[in-house]
């Protein structure tokens, strides 16, 4: 635990305070607040790695509200809550009274009587996911103010239509440790590029999360996609402003090969065009199944025009010294493994497979850090108390 005291000093040096603040978008947080989450996450990881209990809650609920399918984020949220001592309860909307007309305002209060944190994943509808989280937050504010709730639960965005902060923050922590520190990221080139997938309708939040966060740390960020596969314009503008403020760079191109040149990190990931997601949202909300089928057919045909947008050996050779770090949020569409043609060749994915697992492994600690800093005003005090208690997580 030699590094633990140094981590606590870093936590303290941020002078940041996330107490009672929801974590919805990374670009709504200051750089110091982002660093606070990173350092707390590392401290929590050290505690568990050294078999020291990180249970700072004796009781309490964490509500898991996944409105879309998930593996990594769902289990990361459950792991994070369990690490801190919270009981996880799924809000299965099919088993709730939502189908009978229960409002968001009512649901938010009914699930929150003894709740500390609510994790929400809502990435299906463009223009709706982030809005839903804000609506839940407003309902909780009212419930607490009017004396319905003894405390106001915090909200963690587990992916919405705009951002995926737990993923991008886990990615940032991976890069920090891979390259040896946040200061080592300045000037590093990260290529966030579209890649071919035999499916459509994948959210925009991962690429948007990457360009919105990595531009905060002085990195050279290049966003690449075929003509027509653009992201939400407001997020792209945010990335430009972030890069200017941090002394980094931000560039948009329409060539995967061009974007790979001299890259330190590559992040090939499929997403649906912004215009397609707009159409898809309207069709989903209208329950137009035939319209959705037609849109999918059109989109898959268009995707097929860009099968050469694959991360393969040839492209990796043109990265910096041919040794760029490959990243992915998983699951990746792997050519000849999970599909006939996909985002990445089997050889490249296998070469970096363990690194992608390590990357994913930071997410439970990032989520736990978001929870801890939301619920406790003095995280240094809590972490120090946990460490000094010496309570073993597993009986030695």
Q: What is the pLDDT of residues 187-213, one digit of tens each?
A: 999 999 999 999 988 999 999 999 999
Is 295 inside a domain boundary?
yes
Q: What is the token pair recorded at 120? A: 């929400």
Is 84 inside a domain boundary?
yes
Same domain, 156 and 243: no
Among 396, 377, 395, which Cα is nearest to 56's? Answer: 377
Question: Structurally, how many domains does the chain consist of?
Answer: 2
> Has residue 96 got a pLDDT over 80?
no
Is 180 inside a domain boundary?
yes
Same domain, 302 and 274: yes
Token pair 């949220």 is found at 77
The alpha helices in the chain, defined as continuous H runs, are: 2-13, 31-49, 72-84, 104-110, 129-145, 165-179, 205-214, 233-246, 256-260, 274-286, 289-303, 313-316, 346-361, 363-375, 379-389
Token pair 């499916």 is found at 199
Same domain, 373 and 317: no
Same domain, 157 and 180: no
Same domain, 289 and 376: no
The helix/strand/coil state of 389 is helix
Same domain, 223 and 304: yes
Is 369 inside a domain boundary?
yes
Is 121 inside a domain boundary?
yes
Work out the mean pLDDT of the chain and round it to a whole number. 96
List pLDDT tens digits, range 129-139. 999 999 999 99
CA angle centred on 363, ends 224 and 17, rounded to 5°: 100
Is 328 inside a domain boundary?
yes
Same domain, 333 and 367: no
Is 396 inside a domain boundary?
no
DSSP 8-state code for residue 161: S
Same domain, 153 and 175: no
Q: What is the pLDDT of residue 92?
A: 83
List pLDDT tens digits, range 205-251. 999 999 999 999 999 999 999 999 999 999 999 999 999 999 999 99
Q: What is the pLDDT of residue 144?
A: 98
Same domain, 187 and 135: no
Same domain, 18 and 135: yes
Q: In what order do the strands lie in the sheet with 249-253?
A: 249-253, 220-224, 189-193, 265-268, 325-326
Same domain, 41 and 84: yes
Same domain, 350 and 385: no
Q: What is the pLDDT of residue 223?
A: 98
The CATH number that applies at residue 21 is 3.40.50.1370
Is 153 inside a domain boundary?
yes
DSSP 8-state code for residue 86: P
Give the domain extent around 260.
Answer: 167-360
> Has residue 95 got a pLDDT over 80?
no
Residue 337 backbone zone (phi > 0: left; psi -120 to 50: alpha; other: beta): alpha
Structural contact between residues 379 and 37, judged by C-beta atoms closer than 8 angstroms: no
């Amino acid at each position: 635990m030699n590094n633990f005291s140094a981590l606590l000093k870093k936590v303290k040096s941020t002078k940041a305070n996330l107490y009672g603040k929801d974590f919805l978008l990374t670009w709504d947080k200051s750089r110091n607040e982002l660093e606070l989450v990173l350092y707390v996450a590392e401290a929590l990881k050290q505690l568990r790695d050294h078999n020291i209990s990180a249970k700072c809650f004796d009781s309490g609920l964490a509500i898991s509200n996944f409105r879309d399918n998930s593996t990594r984020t769902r289990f990361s949220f459950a792991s994070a809550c369990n690490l801190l001592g919270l009981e996880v309860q799924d809000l299965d909307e099919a088993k709730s009274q939502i189908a009978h007309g229960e409002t968001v305002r009512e649901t938010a209060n009914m699930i929150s009587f003894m709740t500390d944190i609510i994790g929400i994943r809502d990435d299906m509808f463009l223009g709706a996911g982030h809005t839903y989280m804000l609506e839940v937050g407003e309902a909780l504010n009212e419930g607490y103010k009017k004396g319905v709730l003894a405390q106001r639960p915090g909200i963690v965005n587990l992916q919405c239509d705009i951002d995926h902060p737990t993923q991008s923050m886990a990615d940032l922590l991976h890069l920090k440790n891979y390259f040896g520190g946040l200061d080592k990221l300045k000037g590093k080139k990260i290529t966030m590029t579209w890649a071919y997938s035999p499916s459509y309708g994948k959210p925009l939040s991962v690429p948007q999360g990457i360009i919105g966060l990595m531009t905060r740390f002085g990195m050279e960020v290049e966003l690449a996609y075929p003509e027509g596969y653009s992201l939400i314009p407001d997020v792209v503008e945010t990335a430009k402003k972030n890069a200017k403020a941090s002394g980094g760079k931000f560039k948009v191109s329409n060539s995967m090969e061009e974007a790979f040149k001299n890259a330190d990190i590559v992040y090939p990931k499929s997403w649906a065009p912004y215009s397609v997601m707009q159409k898809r949202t309207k069709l989903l909300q209208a329950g137009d199944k035939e319209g959705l089928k037609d849109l999918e057919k059109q989109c898959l045909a268009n995707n097929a025009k860009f099968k050469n947008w694959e991360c393969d050996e040839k492209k990796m050779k043109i990265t910096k010294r041919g040794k760029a770090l490959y990243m992915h949020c998983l699951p990746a569409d792997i050519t000849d493994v999970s599909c006939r043609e996909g985002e990445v060749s089997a050889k490249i994915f296998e070469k970096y497979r363990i690194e992608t697992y390590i990357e994913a492994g930071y997410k439970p600690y990032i989520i736990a850090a978001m929870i801890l800093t939301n619920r406790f005003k003095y995280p240094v005090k809590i972490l120090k108390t946990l460490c000094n208690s010496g309570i073993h997580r597993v009986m030695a």
